[in-house]
Amino acid sequence: MAQYGNQYEVRPGTVYGFGKEIVESKLAAVDFEWGHPIFYKTGDDAKAYAPDSTDATRKFAGVFPLKQISFKASAGVLPTGEQIDVLREGEIWVQVITGETGIANKPAYVDNVTGSGTYKQFSAVSTSKYATGGIFKTNPMVVEGKTVAVLELRGLA
């Protein structure tokens, strides 16, 4: 693992298990933090974008994994213009909307409404959210003040 700190700690973006991931690279069109959902635009799949409910050309691509070289000076934020890894298939810890329970084995959605207060967080509730094609493998737990769960992606998005 090419990251700083404890490589096994649970935080958004930490890969859950090893050896079965499919990762591709894109060019970051915006700043990204570990564990954030990554979208691409129809006709422009070489760049990584943030979710945006007002842009129907954006499609879910995957999640930014922590296994990439960290940007220690920027506290885990990958700046615009850098190459970004996108976990398309595998299992990864993601931030879940606080208060959700009993989500294991349920479809996963991501909040793509900017300014919603839960923007870029994952949920088992589909209302006003974007389908990821993935399912939650675990129920949520709180770690260091963030609600997290394991999301399984199978490249179906």
For 42-83, how does the pLDDT look when each residue is reduced to its tens digit (9 = 90+)? 999 899 999 999 999 999 999 998 865 555 555 667 888 888
pLDDT at 27: 93
Domains of the chain by residue range? 22-154
| Residue 4: pLDDT over 80 | no
Mean per-residue pLDDT, 111-117: 89
pLDDT at 95: 96
Mean per-residue pLDDT, 25-39: 92
Q: What is the mean pLDDT of the chain?
A: 86
CB distance 32 to 84 below 8 Å: yes
Q: What is the CA radius of gyration of the chain?
A: 14
Cα–Cα separations (whole angstroms), residue 24 to 2, 5, 48, 53, 69: 17, 24, 11, 24, 15
CB distance 139 to 101 below 8 Å: yes
Global pTM reads 0.86
For 77-112, how does the pLDDT look when each residue is reduced to its tens digit (9 = 90+)? 788 888 898 999 999 999 999 999 999 999 999 999
Mean per-residue pLDDT, 121-147: 93
| Residue 146: pLDDT over 70 | yes
Q: 130 pairs with which residues across the strands?
A: 110
- Let me know if domain 22-154 sits in CATH 3.90.1690: no
pLDDT interval class at 128 (50, 70, 90): confident
